[in-house]
Amino acid sequence: MLIMNNQFRIKNKKLNLVAIIIGSFACFLFLVSLIGFLFTSFYSIDLKLAIFFEKGFKYEIVRYWSVFYDILGTTELVVFMLFNIMVLIESWFLFKIKKQNNNFWKKNKWLLKLVYILVYFGFVIIKCITTYFKFNADNGFGNSGDAIYLLSNKYRNVGLIISLIIHCIGLFIGFYVINYKFKNDPSYLVDKYWIQASKILFIVFVSYTIIVLLKGMTSRPYYYNIIYGDLLEQLRLDNHNDWVDYYLNQSTFKYGFNIGDNKYANNIPGEWPWYKINESLFKPDKNSVQYKHWFDWAFPSGHVAATLIIGCTFFYFLTNNQKLTLIKIILLSLYFLHLISMSFAIVVNRGHWISDITFTYLWLLPLIFITHFISLKLIVKWENKKKL
């Protein structure tokens, strides 16, 4: 018999149950996304949905939730990438230690601890520094307002603090599990956890290459860019003339449309379906909203892609073990809620369009499962070669 990854031993019904739960949820998401994408390809429907979901942003608790998720989604994938990188490093150390007795790596296991410490504190330091500079940072309304959410910057500041705490605690827990739990599992190398980690990093590379290229090619504005003139007028009615005046007297941030006064303070005219190219490939209209990087534009959603890729960790690693435990059920439930919450949060805050979200599901879900099954075939071939 070939030494196969437990994940691929479909004889075990308990193991199948985990995969079936995840697979069923993925199929449901794909079907809903397909229907949603077909409908929202009509710009009028996409716009009506944006107007509908925007209504929730007037509620205080929704503002905190939506802004927090927007901030959380910018770096949450980095934490899970570090998890997978450390799985590779941990596996490499275990391979070296088991290769021969009393070798250099076995005598100097402290080196692995040092790697964990350096990576963890390196992340914490960088995260703290970036959070510090984003705190009360001027993005068009000075130091008291936020020109993207068109709110007080207290929502952004709270989101930054909570995101910092969650990421630092989450990374610590993840490193603990990898170093103290996974490595004591006799199947750590046999079940090829390093292959699962490699698959996830591969998906990250491929998916974000596609995302950056598509964002740069289409340069699609966000919903708030389309109605930026109306939003500024509403701020004046809400007695925030200081924010509006500050925005009109600066030239760094350009979120609306330029009518010739270089203020970029008007609504963007026309229709903006997902398939419309903004002026030309990688060169958006100079009178429209301006962003510095390709990945700053709307289509498709990098936030949803990041959260969906995080699900790969649950799919690849949770199905490695043969038992459907209570902790797995809790983790899967929390993840599913997190994914759905992320998908709606970045629409409610006048950011992404529904078509951005649904399209991301349509191409990324197949990529995840195709990568999974291709790796299965490669493992079989590899094991066959070892047996010869």
Q: CA 97, 103, 105 angle in degrees (round to 5)?
A: 55
3-class SS of residue 337:
helix
In contact, 228 and 265? CB cutoff 8 Å: yes
Mean pLDDT across the chain, nearest whole number?
Answer: 88
**pLDDT, position 223:** 98
Pick the more confident residue, 111 or 108: 111
Q: Evaluate whether residue 140 is within a structural domain.
A: yes
pLDDT digits (tens, 9 = 90+) for 13-59: 444 676 777 788 889 999 999 999 999 999 999 999 999 999 999 99
**Domain limits for position 271:** 38-385
Q: Kindly give the pairing relationship between strand 151-152 and strand 145-146.
A: antiparallel
pLDDT higher than threshold 90 for residue 370: no
Chain centroid to Cα 118, Å, comes to 24
Least confident range from 188-202, 230-244, 335-349: namely 188-202
Q: Among 264, 289, 76, 262, which Cα is nearest to 174's? A: 76
**Bridge partners of 146?**
151
3-class SS of residue 234:
helix
pLDDT digits (tens, 9 = 90+) for 156-186: 999 999 999 999 999 999 999 888 876 666 5
Q: How confident is the model at residue 303 (pLDDT cuts 50, 70, 90)?
A: very high
Q: CA 103, 109, 112 angle in degrees (round to 5)?
A: 125
Q: Evaluate whether residue 336 is within a structural domain.
A: yes
In contact, 225 and 285? CB cutoff 8 Å: no
Least confident range from 102-111, 202-211, 270-279, 373-382: namely 373-382
Q: Evaluate whether residue 337 is within a structural domain.
A: yes
Tokens matching residue 71: 């901030």
Q: Evaluate whether residue 49 is within a structural domain.
A: yes
How many Cα neighbours within 13 Å face the side chain of 267?
A: 10
Q: Give all strands (DSSP E) within the chain, no chain letters.
A: 145-146, 151-152
d(CA 178, CA 154): 36
Q: Evaluate whether residue 99 is within a structural domain.
A: yes
Per-residue pLDDT, averaged over 293-311, amounts to 94
Q: How many domains does the chain contain in total?
A: 1
Report the predicted TM-score, pTM, of the whole model to 2 decimal places: 0.88
Q: Evaluate whether residue 27 is within a structural domain.
A: no
d(CA 26, CA 6): 21
pLDDT digits (tens, 9 = 90+) for 117-157: 999 999 999 999 999 999 999 999 999 999 999 999 999 99
pLDDT higher than threshold 80 for residue 66: yes
Q: Evaluate whether residue 310 is within a structural domain.
A: yes
Q: Evaluate whether residue 28 is within a structural domain.
A: no
